[in-house]
A and B are shown apart, each in its own frame.
Chain A
Amino acid sequence: MLVLEGVSKSFGAVAALRDVRLELRAGEAHALVGENGAGKSTLVKILAGAHAPDAGTITMNGEPLVLHNPADARAAGIAVIYQEPTLFPDLSVAENIFMGRQPLRGMRRIDAGEMRRRAAELFARLGVQLDPDRPARGLSIADQQLVEIAKALSFDARVLVMDEPTAALSGVEVERLFAVARSLRDAGAAVLFISHRFDEVFALCERITVMRDGQWVSTDAAADLTVADVVRRMVGREVGTLFPKEQAAIGDARLEVRGLTRQGYFTDVSFTVHSGEIVALAGLVGAGRSEVIRAVFGVDRYDSGEVLVDGRPLHRGSASAAIGAGLALVPEDRRQQGLIMELSVERNATLPRRWSLASLGLLFGGSERRAARDWSQRLQVKAARLGDPVSTLSGGNQQKVVLAKWLATQPRVLIVDEPTRGIDVGTKAEVHRLLSTLAGEGVAVLMVSSELPEVLGMADRVLVMHEGRLAADIPRHQADEESVMLAATGQGDR
């Protein structure tokens, strides 16, 4: 029915998809699986008309299909339910479902009564209790997801694409969603289901396509595969000695997190990081890893639990208290959270400790430059001049500036979120060497990473999160790709 062939897509220098093929058949549910960053979401965006492919063709029932924008995709009968719901918070639930397609009456006016009635009908069909008149603001993620599903139902989609729709749903809600997906499938629609939950994949889908690193790996009938087969195809990579962590003396507990809970994000997370230790926090996108470290660092609030640094409880919800206690956070999105792109390299590098560099409350260029030069040399930042704006540097060098910025505060605990995302192999190795050296100097390192080789190569212990909970705590010698992946997908207990 819907066939993609040779589809490629690059963002700048990063190839997100290379020569991908996918064939969806009418009346069939098809699963798409792969690790984080395998290119699944990019593929979904192409089907939705949000991204145009650089190369390749899409055909529907033999006819070539060109999707310039989301309206084209919708006109072609492709409904997409995104991982993150895209609702209008100020508008009513019914309007959200029918936006742009509201039922009309005389003079092309919107028939609000009819719209409400149809929305109520859709909710009845889904078996949910939602008031069509209430605004979308304040809906839980699961309810938002249901509104999205109602939207897809409302225009009798011929192709239904679901990008991890079940991540936030409870068991009952998942069953209900599947019932709807099956009824659509039996009515002749093609369903593309993207999920990390293998039990669901096998329960719903007839065929499974595996992607890895932006490339197509295999498509097989679900009946011919086992969970272990799929996991092997998803990871199937050589784990070399690319990321050696040097042995360091493991000392006292530096960072202790006890029973940390934030409703709707993570539940009862407890762990300890010792000095000289690198602990990796692994898990799938949306498992709550970034949320946990943001809460630990005091950027986000949490509902219960406590964070201790060197045995002293940390004042919750205060990043300055965290910095004062010797914590440093290198965030995931360095462009938005880690750097001020317009400022110079030296300004950025010295930002967190401008008070200790200042004399009488004034900052003089000299002391700033000296401090920046020290760290830039240590990290081998390649910048033409330290006075250049950070935006002129390459991604890898920007990441080094972020590291320099926090290392200059001489942290006792360093938290890094995806430290090597989007940077080249050479710089990756340098960042890893640096983290290793820091651990050797007695710093406790907590590293969030989606790259399994990095996790396995660097970490003394691997903590795996699954749907907001710690699913496993695996010591270095027991950690391998399968054990981590199984725990991350919630299969760890089997």
Chain B
Amino acid sequence: MTAVDTAAPPRTARATRLTHRVFLVRELGIVAALVLLIGATAISNHRFLSAQSVKDLLLGATILAILATGQAIVVITRNVDLSVGSVLGLSAFATGTLFLDHPGIPIPVVLVAGAALGAVCGAVNGALIAAARVPALVVTLGTLYVFRGVDYQWATGKQINAADIPQSFLHMGTNTVLGVPILTLFALVVVLCAGFYLRSYRSGRELYAIGSDPAAARLSGIAVGRRVFFAFVTCGALAGLAGVLYVARFGTLDANAGLGQELNVVAAVVVGGVAIFGGSGSVYGAALGAMLLTTIGSALPVLGVTPFWQRAAVGALILAAIGLDRALSVRVTKSLQRGVHQ
């Protein structure tokens, strides 16, 4: 190597630029799909873009986006949490019960209580996975039923209606600030905080390292078990928070709140470009994925697509997202290897 070489730009700079562009493309791709979908729907029915309709759209995406944020944190570590729907249901029912028993309870206390209950559920998941070394898929499939069972047992004979919930709390679910629903602001804060944490903190980067290569993470001295445990606690806490917001939004609830949500959440995360085998992706992508899935749900009926085809459309979207990820990763890998050997 001579001094001339040192002055030359690094030989992989071009490939690196492509990599960055691809990641940009990945998230911009969802935005583009979103814009296209909204545009097409608005052309066919101009009321789709009315203030009320936009508000409904944002509200609909809020809870899914919060769940997807927690799920993304777990998936990045090469795990999965299937119990989030049940945790949401449990937390929602606990919130309703709190209001029944303590009508004057301050709202911030309720938010913290819901998140804390979720965190406890997440800790159960995390402890089983980290300590007992059982795959997350199996553990959380089990707790999915256990948490739901607890919820059913607790909810028997009880009914919670909007009349039992304080008006101020229900207003939180309907009011807007500058046209943006308050609940959506919650989701925005959660997504931005999680995104900032994952990008800028050592422990956040370690989550990516664990998902990228668990064995290498251990050899690098990363406390793998502890990090995975806290990923599940975080995911549970966010599901608990989502449960509280669920009550604010719908007012009326039974023990079935959040039933089946886990698959929508995983779908949002995958569509949002978080690699299912961990190590890459962002919570921004996951939140955008949640937004896209919700928009499809409301746009397809407007476009005149029969309900029978809506689920198939969501499925096709997941397959398309996975296909795109695969194609991009093949291209990037090739380009990076060329970058080295050129």
A residues near B (Cβ < 8 Å) are 48-50, 69-74, 82, 86-91, 95, 99-100, 102, 104, 108-110, 124, 127-131, 133-135, 137-140, 143, 172, 176
Since A95-B209, A99-B220, A139-B336 are in contact, a sample of 8 more A-B pairs with Cβ atoms closer than 8 Å, ordered by chain A residue number, is A87-B216, A90-B208, A90-B280, A91-B212, A100-B220, A131-B13, A135-B336, A143-B340
Residues of A within 8 A of B339 (CB): 134, 138
Is A48 a contact partner of B219 (Cβ separation < 8 A)?
yes
6 A-B residue pairs with Cβ-Cβ distance under 8 Å, sorted by A, are A95-B209, A134-B12, A134-B339, A135-B16, A137-B336, A138-B333
CB distance from A439 to the nearest CB of B (A): 40
- Tell me, yes or no, whether B45 is within 8 Å of chain A by CB: no
Residues of B within 8 A of A72 (CB): 221
Is A129 a contact partner of B205 (Cβ separation < 8 A)?
no
Known: A99-B222, A129-B5, A129-B10. A109 touches B201 (CB 8 A): yes
Contact residue among A91, A109, A129, A176 (Cβ-Cβ distance under 8 Å from B11): A129
A353 to B132, CA, bound (A): 39
- Tell me, yes or no, whether B327 is within 8 Å of chain A by CB: no
A124 to B339, CA, bound (A): 19
Known: A70-B219, A70-B221, A90-B279. A172 touches B12 (CB 8 A): no
A100 to B10, CA, bound (A): 26
Residues of A within 8 A of B341 (CB): 140
Is A100 a contact partner of B206 (Cβ separation < 8 A)?
yes
A447 to B139, CA, bound (A): 44
A100 to B220, CA, bound (A): 8
Is A139 a contact partner of B340 (Cβ separation < 8 A)?
yes
- Tell me, yes or no, whether B215 is within 8 Å of chain A by CB: yes
Is B202 a contact partner of A102 (Cβ separation < 8 A)?
yes
Is A131 a contact partner of B16 (Cβ separation < 8 A)?
yes
Is A99 a contact partner of B209 (Cβ separation < 8 A)?
yes
Is B19 a contact partner of A134 (Cβ separation < 8 A)?
yes
Residues of B within 8 A of A69 (CB): 221
Is A74 a contact partner of B212 (Cβ separation < 8 A)?
no
A140 to B12, CA, bound (A): 12
Is B337 a contact partner of A138 (Cβ separation < 8 A)?
yes
Residues of A within 8 A of B213 (CB): 86-89
Closest 3 CB pairs of A and B: A138-B336, A71-B221, A90-B279
A140 to B337, CA, bound (A): 8
Is A133 a contact partner of B16 (Cβ separation < 8 A)?
yes
Known: A74-B221, A134-B19. A88 touches B10 (CB 8 A): no
Contact residue among B15, B201, B212, B337 (Cβ-Cβ distance under 8 Å from A89): B212
- Tell me, yes or no, whether B6 is within 8 Å of chain A by CB: yes
Residues of A within 8 A of B220 (CB): 70, 86, 99-100
CB distance from A340 to the nearest CB of B (A): 19
Find the residue from A95, A109, A143 having the highest chain B CB count within 10 A. A109
Known: A124-B6, A129-B11. A90 touches B211 (CB 8 A): yes
B residues near A (Cβ < 8 Å) are 1, 5-6, 8, 10-13, 15-16, 19-20, 199-202, 205-206, 208-209, 211-213, 215-223, 275, 279-280, 332-333, 336-337, 339-341
Q: Is chain B's interface secondary structure helix, strand, loop, or mixed overall?
A: helix
- Chain B's closest residue to A74 (CB) is B221
Is A95 a contact partner of B19 (Cβ separation < 8 A)?
no
A5 to B53, CA, bound (A): 75
Count A-B pairs with CB separation below 8 Å: 113
Find the residue from B12, B213, B215 having the highest chain A CB count within 10 A. B12
A274 to B314, CA, bound (A): 59
CB distance from A48 to the nearest CB of B (A): 7
Residues of B within 8 A of A140 (CB): 337, 340-341
Residues of A within 8 A of B221 (CB): 49, 69-74, 100
A451 to B232, CA, bound (A): 47
Residues of A within 8 A of B5 (CB): 129
A129 to B3, CA, bound (A): 11
Residues of B within 8 A of A99 (CB): 205-206, 209, 220, 222
Is A100 a contact partner of B222 (Cβ separation < 8 A)?
yes
Residues of B within 8 A of A139 (CB): 336, 340
A72 to B221, CA, bound (A): 8
A110 to B216, CA, bound (A): 21
Contact residue among A49, A110, A130, A135 (Cβ-Cβ distance under 8 Å from B19): A135
Residues of B within 8 A of A108 (CB): 201-202
Residues of B within 8 A of A91 (CB): 205, 208-209, 212, 279
CB distance from B170 to the nearest CB of A (A): 36
Contact residue among B15, B199, B200, B211 (Cβ-Cβ distance under 8 Å from A134): B15
Known: A130-B12, A131-B10, A131-B13. A70 touches B218 (CB 8 A): yes
Residues of A within 8 A of B20 (CB): 133
Residues of A within 8 A of B205 (CB): 91, 95, 99, 102, 110
Residues of A within 8 A of B8 (CB): 129
A87 to B217, CA, bound (A): 9
Is A86 a contact partner of B16 (Cβ separation < 8 A)?
no
CB distance from B58 to the nearest CB of A (A): 30
A95 to B216, CA, bound (A): 13
Residues of B within 8 A of A90 (CB): 208, 211-212, 275, 279-280
Residues of A within 8 A of B209 (CB): 88, 91, 95, 99
Find the residue from A86, A87, A138 having the highest chain B CB count within 10 A. A138
Residues of B within 8 A of A130 (CB): 10, 12
CB distance from B335 to the nearest CB of A (A): 8
A143 to B211, CA, bound (A): 22
A124 to B13, CA, bound (A): 16
CB distance from B336 to the nearest CB of A (A): 3
- Chain A's closest residue to B202 (CB) is A102
Residues of B within 8 A of A102 (CB): 202, 205
- Chain B's closest residue to A120 (CB) is B10
Is B333 a contact partner of A88 (Cβ separation < 8 A)?
no
- Chain B's closest residue to A124 (CB) is B6
CB distance from A225 to the nearest CB of B (A): 33
- Chain A's closest residue to B218 (CB) is A70
- Chain A's closest residue to B19 (CB) is A135
CB distance from B76 to the nearest CB of A (A): 9
CB distance from B281 to the nearest CB of A (A): 9
CB distance from B230 to the nearest CB of A (A): 16
CB distance from A325 to the nearest CB of B (A): 32
- Chain A's closest residue to B209 (CB) is A88
Known: A69-B221, A100-B206, A102-B205. A110 touches B200 (CB 8 A): yes
A70 to B223, CA, bound (A): 10
Is B12 a contact partner of A137 (Cβ separation < 8 A)?
no
- Chain A's closest residue to B334 (CB) is A138
Residues of A within 8 A of B217 (CB): 88
CB distance from A92 to the nearest CB of B (A): 9
- Chain B's closest residue to A111 (CB) is B200
CB distance from B50 to the nearest CB of A (A): 41
Residues of B within 8 A of A74 (CB): 221
- Chain B's closest residue to A82 (CB) is B219
Contact residue among A48, A88, A100, A104 (Cβ-Cβ distance under 8 Å from B208): A88
